Amino acid sequence: MVEKGTTNTVMWFRRDLRIADNPALLASIEEAKLNGGSVIPIFILDPALIGGAGSKRLAYLGQSLRALDESLENNLHVLVGDQVDVLKDIAKKYSATSVHISEEFERYGVERDARVEASGISLVRTGSPYAVSPGRVRKPSDGTPYKVYTPFYRAWKEIGWRKPAGKPSEIPMIKPGKSERQFPDWALPEGTELTPAGESAAIKRFEYFKKNLLNNYDESRNMAGVDGTSKMSAHLKWGEIHPRTLLASLGNSTAHDVFRKEIAWREFYADVLFNNPRTEREYYAPQFAQMRYEKPGAQYKAWCEGKTGYPFVDAAMRQLLKEGWMHNRTRMVVASFLVKDLHLEWQLGEKYFREHLIDFDLASNVHGWQWTAGCGTDASPYYRIFNPIEQGKRFDPEGDYIRKYVPELAHLGASEIHEPWTVLDGYIHDYPEQIVNHATERLESLARLQEIKVQKD
């Protein structure tokens, strides 16, 4: 029941599934206390977004919502339906006059929030999923957005960010009714192993990373066979931790700066998509739409299943299928293989990643793919084509990564595992033969580039 004379507030969680360092939550608490009311914490399951998400990402989200609910003392309202209808019903039922949110910048989120406001619901925006919100970093010379990462990074760092917001000592909340506890029952796909979800898991992993891995991050982050990355991507995607929290721990060493730059890449791509919304589907460099591409067929299927005959590529694709995550180095390698060895359009790979990644972030996925395809934001003077064999030798020298995900090759030593076709027993466990010859397809890719007269060599 709601006491007469009190005014409550709604805290609408979206990509901020945490209670610490959450300015929107703090603002909702402050307003509620000022008006003698309470907070209604809510998550709305959007049928449109649910329909476009893969089973692994949904399973992760389900776990994250349970973790958030626990931190809110089982007071999270979870409802399914159109956002306008749900928010109007909640506001009427609990005498709430405002809805607090973290600001969104992707086109779908912006349009959704505009539709909510057009219905008469008051949205109070405080904070965002970024240290520096998209659109803020501009060239001082003419006020236009940056198109190249390095100068963006310098300007982004110069703008800076606030210290992490505190964790509320108490949250006055309205207890949800039984009908407002519509938690999804999304089971993990068989054979899938996901990283733990939730704010506590995020903090625990980051503390481990700081203590054991951060100081060597510049050297270990590219090594696929070791635990050398932060593994913060899924936690950042769902806002279980804020980038501000990560940045606050960093010093000025080379390793710390490299990690800071990785966070900045996420914010750079968000800025690029914000300023170029068409690139969600279209080529950032439009001339690449004219390049000759193949139609997806058997080779695309082999790539999806991790059966290309290139061990480093196959290990990465099988990691994606099993864990809903892939090492950053191998993301570039498999993307290059799809576009430049198989001559398929980047959108096919982006869509497949979108289906399987638990850390799927629209801006990072779209522009990470375009960067590797050569049609995105890239100051490189040459057309980058990753050699899948040499990449494996360099970033998985002992073959540990390959052995973990490609058991057909587990019997081979470090000097053999990257090229099983060179040894007599390389195929005794039915590992597939190479579907293409990399050297041949590299030349073909460069020839196709020449046809559209993009000079990058």
322-332 confidence digits (pLDDT tens): 999 999 999 99
232 and 160 within one domain: yes
What phi and psi, each to the nearest 5 degrees, are found at residue 36? 65, 25
Does residue 193 belong to any structural domain of this protein?
no
pLDDT of residue 53: 82
292 and 248 within one domain: no
Does residue 194 belong to any structural domain of this protein?
no
pLDDT of residue 235: 98
327 and 270 within one domain: no
Does residue 286 belong to any structural domain of this protein?
yes
Look up residue 11 and give its DSSP letter. E
Instruction: Mark which of 275, 299, 321 sits at the end of a domain.
Output: 275
- Where in the sequence is the domain holding 293, given as residue range(s)? 280-451
C-beta atoms surrounding 327 within 10 Å? 24
Q: Where are the alpha helices (DSSP H) in 223-297?
A: 233-237, 243-247, 254-275
SS3 state at 290:
helix
Does residue 16 belong to any structural domain of this protein?
yes
Q: Where are the alpha helices (DSSP H) in 9-54?
A: 23-34, 47-51
430 and 386 within one domain: yes
CATH of residue 446's domain is 1.10.579.10
Domain count, the chain: 3
In single-letter form, the type of residue at position 116 comes to V
| Structure confidence by residue, pLDDT tens digits, 378-413 | 867 778 999 999 999 999 999 999 999 999 999 999
Instruction: Mark which of 128, 151, 183 sits at the end of a domain.
Output: 128
Q: Determine the Cα–Cα distance for residues 79 and 77; give it in Å rounded to an integer.
A: 6
Look up residue 93 and give its DSSP letter. H
Residue 66 pLDDT grade (very low, low, confident, very high; cuts 50, 70, 90): very high
450 contact partners, CB below 8 Å, separation of at least 6 = none
Does residue 13 belong to any structural domain of this protein?
yes
232 and 83 within one domain: no
**215: closest CA among 234, 228, 196?**
228
Q: Determine the Cα–Cα distance for residues 320 and 337; give it in Å rounded to an integer.
A: 15
237 and 109 within one domain: no
Residue 425 has pLDDT above 80, yes or no: yes
58 and 23 within one domain: yes
Instruction: Mark which of 275, 298, 321 sits at the end of a domain.
Output: 275
Does residue 262 belong to any structural domain of this protein?
yes
For residue 42, the cross-strand partners are 12, 77
Mean pLDDT (whole number) for 171-194: 92
Q: Determine the Cα–Cα distance for residues 97 and 140; give it in Å rounded to an integer.
A: 40
382 and 249 within one domain: no
14 and 45 within one domain: yes
**341: closest CA among 308, 371, 314?**
308
CATH of residue 205's domain is 1.25.40.80
302 and 271 within one domain: no
Does residue 92 belong to any structural domain of this protein?
yes
23 and 149 within one domain: no
Residue 20 has pLDDT above 70, yes or no: yes
| Structure confidence by residue, pLDDT tens digits, 317-357 | 999 999 999 999 999 999 999 999 999 999 999 999 999 99
Mean pLDDT (whole number) for 358-387: 92
CB 103 within 8 A of CB 109: no
**Residue 171 in tokens:** 């949250």
CB 251 within 8 A of CB 139: no
Does residue 45 belong to any structural domain of this protein?
yes
pLDDT of residue 454: 65
Half-sphere exposure of 159 (CA within 13 A, CB side): 19
Residue 156 pLDDT grade (very low, low, confident, very high; cuts 50, 70, 90): very high
324 and 285 within one domain: yes
CATH of residue 61's domain is 3.40.50.620
pLDDT of residue 2: 47
Q: Determine the Cα–Cα distance for residues 96 and 121; give it in Å rounded to an integer.
A: 10
For residue 44, the cross-strand partners are 79
412 contact partners, CB below 8 Å, separation of at least 6 = 399, 420, 423, 425, 426
| Structure confidence by residue, pLDDT tens digits, 226-272 | 999 999 999 999 999 999 999 999 999 999 999 999 999 999 999 99
The residue with tokens 């629209």 is 362
Q: Determine the Cα–Cα distance for residues 241 and 18; give it in Å rounded to an integer.
A: 7
Mean pLDDT, rounded, of the chain: 95
